[in-house]
Structure 1
Amino acid sequence: MKYAMELTGPRGIPRGFTMIELVLVIVLLGIMGGFSIQYVSSMLQANRFMSGQKDIVDEGRLAIEFMVRELRVAKDITATTSTSITFDKFSGLPQDDDATSIQYSWNAGTRTLSRASSNVTAILSTRIKTFSITTPSADLYQIDMELEGSEGETFVLRSGVRPRVTVS
């Protein structure tokens, strides 16, 4: 039988693997596979966390930058509380031509930061856990906000602004 598989080599030494060798290879591959699955799982979890962080960071930065830019060109700040600020500015925006009584306020119940004028009301962020406006020195306004994502991840933003009209 020319095509039959030979179980011995040219010198009569048996060829192939023993059962112990096969079991040992299967066990080692199982251990390596277990570690690989743990590694991939932790990488996916970290990716999900970072994606959530990026979403809240983007939303928070957009809200605080918009607020700071408008406060920088404020003509007169008429009212300030720990969670809201109202001011007049020199000129309106293309989307909102009203330049008087612009109010930024935070609602703790709905966790929203909104911008309101007589013409337009817009919600800037819906994930703000804590928010405060303080005046550490004359004509300097410090804005602090802590944002919370859907998975419980948090991010804190702080910015300060000095309206240009008060700078001499």
Structure 2
Amino acid sequence: MKQPMSSIHNEHGMTMIEIILVIVIMGVMVSVGAQFLFQSAEVDQRHAERVDRVTRAYVAMEMLVRELRIADPATVNITGNTITFDKQFGYAQDTTTSGVSYTYSPGGDILQRTGSATTTIATNMTAFSITDNGGWYTISLTLTGTLSGDFTLTSAVRPRTLS
């Protein structure tokens, strides 16, 4: 017995509507996947910037705290955005013991250390403060990131008196 013509036609392939539906569904899947990849890349970029900013803040704070810890307490002088002091002894890397200062320049958004040479300690800073709490010094610095906002680091230090 012969099969009708319409059933033979359906067995040979897909219709144009089926092909268009497959293309539309694949397009939607690709656009969702691309959006996911772009969001992942943006999150990764924000995370990398945040890690960089935290590391820079930590290094700047650690340098200042270490030097202030060996400062001669009688020589510590805070004036506005600058702290100046004489150290009780020098390091092998920097033998300078007098006139060490850390200065924050709000216009340039940088923290600089001046001793035997002037060195930029941190950039992209939005705030820096030092408070004398009766021999204890509270230091706070804020660094900014273009993607991930501000990060503030605060520490306290007291100069040691060597006998």
TM > 0.5 fold call:
yes
User: How is 1:147-166 mapped onto 2 (pairs within 5 angstroms)?
Assistant: 147-151=143-147, 153-165=149-161
1:32-53 per-residue CA deviation (whole Å, 9 max, x = no partner) reads 1111111111111112222222
For residues 76 and 158 of structure 2, what CA distance do their matches in structure 1 show?
15
Q: Which amino acid in the other structure matches residue 43 of structure 2?
A: A
Structure 1 vs Structure 2: percent identity of aligned residues? 34
Q: How far did residue 83 of structure 1 move?
A: 1.5
Q: Which amino acid in the other structure matches residue 72 of structure 2?
A: K
User: Helix, strand or coil for the counterpart of 2:48?
Assistant: helix
Q: Indicate which of 145, 153, 168 corresponds to 2:141.
A: 145
For residues 65 and 146 of structure 1, what CA distance do their matches in structure 2 show?
14
TM-score, L = length of structure 2: 0.84
For residues 158 and 121 of structure 2, what CA distance do their matches in structure 1 show?
21
**Residues 1:60 and 2:57 are matched in the alignment:** yes
1:73-106 per-residue CA deviation (whole Å, 9 max, x = no partner) reads 1122431134121112221122321211211111
**Residues 1:114 and 2:108 are matched in the alignment:** no
For residues 86 and 56 of structure 2, what CA distance do their matches in structure 1 show?
25
Segments of 4+ moved more than 6 angstroms: none
How well do the aligned residues superpose, as a CA RMSD in angstroms? 2.2
User: How is 1:30-109 mapped onto 2 (pairs within 5 angstroms)?
Assistant: 30-76=27-73, 77-109=75-107
TM-score, L = length of structure 1: 0.81
Given that 2:82 and 2:103 are in contact with CA atoms closer than 8 Å, whether structure 1 keeps it comes out as: yes
**Aligned in 2, Cα 1:82/1:160: closer, same or farther, shift over 3 Å?**
farther
For residues 26 and 41 of structure 2, what CA distance do their matches in structure 1 show?
22
Given that 1:115 and 1:124 are in contact with CA atoms closer than 8 Å, whether structure 2 keeps it comes out as: yes
Q: By percentage of residues, which structure has more helix?
A: 2
- Structure 2, unaligned runs of 5 or more: 1-6
Q: Which amino acid in the other structure matches residue 137 of structure 2?
A: Y
- Structure 1, unaligned runs of 5 or more: 1-10
Q: How far did residue 112 of structure 1 move?
A: 1.3
Given that 2:136 and 2:158 are in contact with CA atoms closer than 8 Å, whether structure 1 keeps it comes out as: yes
Q: How far did residue 67 of structure 1 move?
A: 0.5
Find the counterpart in structure 2 of residue 14 from structure 1.
11
Q: Which amino acid in the other structure matches residue 21 of structure 2?
A: L
